[in-house]
Amino acid sequence: MRTDFPQYDPPYDSPLEDVFAWSLSKYVARDVTIFRQFEVPTACGKFRIDFVAVTPNGYRVAFECDGADFHEDSRDEWRDAMILGSGQVDSIIRLRGQDIFHRVNDVLLVASRWHPRIFSERAFHNLTCLASNRALMYDVSDDPFTAVISYPDESKVASSPLHIRLFRRMRVNPSGVRRQFWQCAFRFATSNGGGNLDEVIREYRNRVWSSP
């Protein structure tokens, strides 16, 4: 075990989570605590979040590491809706496995610009040195919920993704931003008594599709 970063505490559930945990632990602020497999009870059952970074004043940023297995974006959004609606976290950032494996510094640079409070001063310096020029030039203010950085010059490098993509959902909307879908999903689920998430989603779709 590498002890120079005490928040890195293996073993983890997968190589993907191990890579992310090691990288995040190097850059997180000293007064921020990282929890893994953070359990959240919701109206649609209990869900586990891969990592949650918590500041001393209680602000919580969740990270979900989506691996190679198929992920249905719509179901992920409903799952995130239940978690955000519970009030247990303030923001959820979803990361693709290939982006973590190949572009973790770029991924963390975007995360640090979205949520600078959870990162150290050292992180900003090191990530500025280690991240790609594409990531350094990317303006996160263009879209508060999605970041996509492309690497057209590396299209012939088979091991490297052509782009990275991060999704963020927030419990409180940034100023001037309209309501997010997750808020509608959470209200629908709770107004119908919650229950099994897949059944709630199916009921919502049936109502929407049957509407004139």
- Can you tell me the mean pLDDT for 76-86? 96
Q: How many other CB atoms are there within 10 angstroms of residue 126's CB atom?
A: 16
Q: Is residue 10 part of a domain?
A: no
Q: Is residue 191 part of a domain?
A: yes
Using alpha carbons, select from 129, 21, 35, 120 the residue that is nearest to residue 65: 21
Domain encompassing residue 88 = 15-210
When the pLDDT of each residue in the chain is averaged and rounded to a whole number, the result is 90
**Contact indicator for 10, 18 with CB cutoff of 8 Å:** yes
Q: Which two tokens stand for residue 28?
A: 């997180």
Using alpha carbons, select from 92, 93, 107, 91 the residue that is nearest to residue 163: 107
Q: Is residue 6 part of a domain?
A: no
Band of the pLDDT at 16, cuts 50, 70, 90? very high
What percent of the chain shows pLDDT beyond 90? 78
Band of the pLDDT at 6, cuts 50, 70, 90? confident
Q: Is residue 4 part of a domain?
A: no
- Can you tell me the mean pLDDT for 10-28? 95
**Contact indicator for 132, 106 with CB cutoff of 8 Å:** yes
Using alpha carbons, select from 49, 56, 8, 39 the residue that is nearest to residue 169: 49
Q: Is residue 117 part of a domain?
A: yes
Domain tally, the chain = 1
Q: Is the pLDDT of residue 212 over 70?
A: no
CA distance 103 to 68: 15
Residue 77: strand pairing partners: none
**Contact indicator for 54, 44 with CB cutoff of 8 Å:** no
Residue 11: strand pairing partners: none
Q: Is the pLDDT of residue 176 over 50?
A: yes
Q: Is residue 30 part of a domain?
A: yes
Q: Is residue 189 part of a domain?
A: yes
pLDDT in tens, 98-145: 999 999 999 999 999 999 999 999 999 999 999 999 999 999 998 999
Band of the pLDDT at 22, cuts 50, 70, 90? very high
pLDDT in tens, 26-40: 999 999 999 999 999
Q: Is residue 100 part of a domain?
A: yes
